Amino acid sequence: MSKAGWVAQREFMVRVRSRQFIIMTLLGPFLFSLMFVIPALLARYGGSDKQTIWVHDASGLFAGAFQTEGEVVFREFDRQPDGWRDSLKSGKDLGFLLIDPAIDLNKPTGFRYYSDQPPGVATSDRITRAISDRIQALKLKQRGLDPGFVDSLRTNIDLQTLRLTGEGEENSSTGAATVVGFMAAFIMYLFIFLYGSMVVRGVVEEKASRVMEVLVASVRPFDLMLGKILGIAAVGLAQFVVWIALTSGLVALAQATILGGTEATSAQMAGSSPDGFEGIMLGLGTLNLPFLLSMFLFYFISGYLLYAALFAAIGSAVDNESDTQQLMFPVTIPIILAIIVAQMVVQNPGSPLSFWFSMIPLTAPILMAVRLPFGVPAWELALSMSLMVVGFLATTWIAARIYRVGVLMYGKKPTFKELLKWITYKV
Amino acid sequence: MSTAAPFLEVRSVVKRYHNHTALDEVSLNLQSGRIFGLLGPNGAGKTTLIRIINQIIGPDEGQLLLEGRPLSYADTHRMGYLPEERGLYKKMKIGDQALYLAQLRGLSARDARQQVRHWFTRLDIQGWVDKKVEELSKGMQQKVQFACTVLHRPDLIILDEPFSGFDPVNAEVLKQEILNLQRDGATLLFSTHRMETVEEMCQDIALIHKSKVVLSGETGEIRRRFSDRTYLLRHEGEFQWPVQGVERPSIPNSDSEKVPLSEYHSEKVPLSEYHSEKVPSSEYHSEKVPSSEYHSEKVPSSGSDVVKAPSAHSNEESAVRETRVRLTQGSLNDLLAHCIAQKIELHSVEEIRPGFHEIFIKTVKESQP
């Protein structure tokens, strides 16, 4: 086995055997699956959103405007009951909507809502929509138009999005692409940060404990760095595989038992609209998943290697962990920038901004993850991937230059500028 | 120094950093199977040289030859290195660490396991194999570190301040192990500030000062070279001053010189022990009985009647006196003749050669710009 192999093996074994790793690996899926299960459980058994709203319509214009729907019950009453303010103080989930006797349809004011708690967005939306719909209907009536006719003018169009490729047209799903892209980008971000900082800590540990001097007498610094990066990558991949397997297992188990069906969970996963989620699930079918997964894996690994090398260089430059923060900041800027830009890229996956940021190797892993499900021209993908390879070779080279100087330096914490100077040093 | 081809040759090595030269044309020869002492004040360049030999860093100029061939990276498997700043992984079992380090030095897993068992048993740390470094005492950690240095049976062992951090008992264990390694054929390089280590263990030394080798050679030869013809006379009767060509030597290091006397040197040994010793030749240094800053060396008695049978030294019998003299001109015979003329009855004459403390300080001072 090569020396980098021995180093990687040690990194892997020591970390995988550590109590911290075992606890995190086993506990993680429970926490993740709770993220799915708890909202679903709440939706099923919570039921605390029930609300009764008493409507006193003194104007008489809004009879039947408020329709009881779902959790919110509307009750109309003719006169203001005495002591309704007191009942508000004692009652829970109560609201009173008071409408003034004279309502000017052109300048409608005089709607007041009282409750013990400020109403949620959904409740206030429903009330305002009911009022404005009724006012609109009244206005139409004044002009002699039939509101039913106006309603019939409203048409819902379902836009079928198709992407024209060399092989013909393909169905595409914007919703599915967005969800898949964001998930992949987020996982990439998490992976780089989680295991990148593990690399920093590992290098600092070797320097702080002074075992470094013995190590570099037996292993070339480059092999030492490479071994550490690869070993930790293996730890990360192992942890992710366990996490994904256990999480999906636990969620499936929860669905089969306590949730008693797939719908509740599925609805929660897609936000609140089952339709949207179904759309996304259908949309997934339109994506080329094996291709996407292999691309994700490529960006996942190359992105990690690129950043891990830089993190190793930072670790080598300092004597203790607390000094790493300041040096890590410039390296983390592109990652954070990529996450910010990703939100714009989703709006317009083909824009020049998307293009350039998915070419720069520092931001490409995250941005390509977002763009890939929308479809990326082959030449762009090829260019980005080549740049990615060049990029991680370049950062690894630079990092190795800094590393071999850094591991032997003790004392003053270097500035970022000094680190760059180390690249030119002869050792 | 022996004339055989050196085991390790450092040839005109130069190492420059940005604003200073760490090593300037440094050349050394390490003979096979011997212990070489690398001396020098702090910052002289010792660590740089050690790192170059270990191939942690490379020289800017010059060459290193191992058994006549240029040093290659594969040769690191033949080297063991104990750095001055000791350190192991804090949270790793010491047995696993030793195994790991041995494998990095080229041992197979099976070989490594066997060697770990051998050395851990030998150094009496076998019971701690599953403990982590942070659970061990400092002395125990030192032993583990030493074991890790020699596990892979290196034939060039580089020890930076090997005895620091060891209590006297364990220091003795370590010393015996080092001597065993030497006996088994290993060549050793010590970097040390402890002159008694040099005097006890090293056969050759080099002194580096301000990036240059300012003194090197065999320890005995260097001592002879530094002899300033100072003698210790034990005699009855009064030594009459002044004498032509003889002066009273100043006693070095007694005048609050910066270098403190170590425990070894501060001990006074009764004279009787000196006298009872049979001294084969003038080459002999009475290293077993270091009595003072100076090391005594018996001089062959040039007149049979000069040195009498030794008598026990005691306070009541103060007839035997000691006088230190330094010859500025003439020979030892002139001095003896003078003693006879003065009717001084000599019991013994010993040459006093400087110890490495003094040689060190003197050399460093003289090579001051």
Q: What is the 3-state secondary structure (H, E, C) of B144-161?
A: HHHHHHHCCCCCEEEEEC
Give yes or no for A214 touching B (CB within 8 A): yes
Q: Domain check: are A278 and A237 in the same one?
A: yes
Evaluate if residue B68 carries a pLDDT over 80: yes
Evaluate if residue A108 carries a pLDDT over 90: no
Q: What band does A282 get if pLDDT is binned at 50, 70 and 90?
A: low
Query: Are A207 and A198 a contacting pair, CB within 8 Å?
Result: no
Instruction: Please report, rounded to a whole number, the percentage of residues in chain B having pLDDT higher than 70.
Output: 80
Burial code (b: 16+ CB inside 10 Å, e: under 16) for A218-234 equals bbbbbbbbbbbbbbbbb
Under an 8 A CB cutoff, do A14 and B91 touch?
yes
- Based on the structure, what is the number of domains in chain A? 2
Q: What band does A264 get if pLDDT is binned at 50, 70 and 90?
A: very low
Q: Domain check: are A137 and A206 in the same one?
A: no
Give yes or no for A44 touching B (CB within 8 A): no
Q: Minimal CA–CA distance to A237: which of A137, A169, A304? A: A304
Residue A368, domain member (yes or no): yes
Q: Which residue of A has its CA nearest to B82?
A: A214
Structural domains of chain B, ranges and CATH numbers in brackets? 8-222 (3.40.50.300), 227-366 (no CATH)
Q: Domain check: are A54 and A35 in the same one?
A: no
Query: Are A157 and A85 a contacting pair, CB within 8 Å?
Result: no
Identify the sign of the CA torsion A364, A367, A370, A376: negative
In angstroms, the CA A355 to CA A64 distance is 54
Mean pLDDT along residues A278-294: 72
Angle between helices A221-256 and A378-406 (to 10 degrees): 130
pLDDT of residue B187: 96
- Kindly list the residues from chain B whose CB atom is less than 8 angstroms away from the CB atom of residue A214: 81, 83, 87-88, 101, 148
- Kindly list the residues from chain B whose CB atom is less than 8 angstroms away from the CB atom of residue A213: 56, 81, 83, 85, 87
Q: Domain check: are A24 and A102 in the same one?
A: no
pLDDT of residue A90: 66
Q: Domain check: are A280 and A407 in the same one?
A: yes
Min Cα distance B83 → chain A (Å) is 7
pLDDT tens-digit readout, B91-148? 899 999 999 999 999 999 999 999 999 999 999 999 999 999 989 988 889 999 999 9
pLDDT tens-digit readout, A163-211? 665 555 555 667 777 888 888 888 888 888 889 999 999 999 999 988 9
Of the candidates A14, A18, A218, the beta carbon closest to that of B104 is on: A218
Q: Which residue of B has its CA nearest to A221?
A: B56
- Kindly list the residues from chain B whose CB atom is less than 8 angstroms away from the CB atom of residue A212: 87
Q: Domain check: are A320 and A191 in the same one?
A: yes
Residue A164, domain member (yes or no): no
pLDDT of residue B273: 36
pLDDT of residue A281: 61
pLDDT of residue B175: 94
Q: Domain check: are A241 and A334 in the same one?
A: yes
Mean pLDDT along residues A367-396: 91
- Chosen for mutation from A218, A220, A224, A427 (greatest number of chain B CBs closer than 10 Å) is A218
Of the candidates B54, B85, B105, the beta carbon closest to that of A210 is on: B85
pLDDT of residue B265: 35
Min Cα distance A391 → chain B (Å) is 27
In angstroms, the CA A216 to CA A355 distance is 42
CATH for A75: 3.40.190.10
If one compares A207 and A161, the residue with the highest pLDDT of the two is A207
pLDDT of residue A286: 67
Q: What band does B263 get if pLDDT is binned at 50, 70 and 90?
A: very low
Under an 8 A CB cutoff, do B148 and A214 touch?
yes
Min Cα distance B257 → chain A (Å) is 31
- Chosen for mutation from B57, B77, B104 (greatest number of chain A CBs closer than 10 Å) is B104
If one compares A280 and A424, the residue with the highest pLDDT of the two is A424
Residue A280, domain member (yes or no): yes
Residue B349, both tokens:
């004459």
Residue A135, domain member (yes or no): yes
Query: Are A235 and A21 a contacting pair, CB within 8 Å?
Result: yes
Question: Which of A147, A163, A193 corresponds to the end of one domain?
Answer: A147
Residue A165, domain member (yes or no): no
Of the candidates B58, B60, B83, the beta carbon closest to that of A214 is on: B83
CA atoms within 13 A on the CB side of A397: 7
In angstroms, the CA B88 to CA B135 distance is 12
If one compares B254 and A170, the residue with the highest pLDDT of the two is A170
Residue B256, both tokens:
């609050």
Question: Which of A77, A112, A147 corresponds to the end of one domain?
Answer: A147
Q: What band does A375 get if pLDDT is binned at 50, 70 and 90?
A: confident
Question: What residue has token string 């301040």?
Answer: B161
- Chosen for mutation from A6, A214, A401 (greatest number of chain B CBs closer than 10 Å) is A214
Give yes or no for A215 touching B (CB within 8 A): yes
Burial code (b: 16+ CB inside 10 Å, e: under 16) for B88-125 equals bbeebbbbbbbbbbbbbbebeeeebbebbeebbeebeb
Q: Domain check: are A200 and A282 in the same one?
A: yes
The whole-chain average pLDDT of chain A stands at: 82
Question: What residue has token string 């009750």?
Answer: A75
Q: Domain check: are A97 and A28 in the same one?
A: no
Name the residue range of residue A65's domain. Answer: 49-147
Under an 8 A CB cutoff, do A427 and B90 touch?
no
Give yes or no for A212 touching B (CB within 8 A): yes
pLDDT of residue A91: 65
**Amino acid at site B158:** I
The whole-chain average pLDDT of chain B stands at: 80
Q: What band does B223 get if pLDDT is binned at 50, 70 and 90?
A: confident
- Kindly list the residues from chain B whose CB atom is less than 8 angstroms away from the CB atom of residue A3: 104
Q: What band does B307 get if pLDDT is binned at 50, 70 and 90?
A: very low
Q: Domain check: are A70 and A34 in the same one?
A: no
Q: Domain check: are A226 and A248 in the same one?
A: yes
In angstroms, the CA A289 to CA B309 distance is 103
Evaluate if residue B367 carries a pLDDT over 80: yes
Give, as one character, the DSSP assignment of residue B57: S
Min Cα distance B288 → chain A (Å) is 35
Mean pLDDT along residues A241-259: 82
Q: Domain check: are A102 and A30 in the same one?
A: no
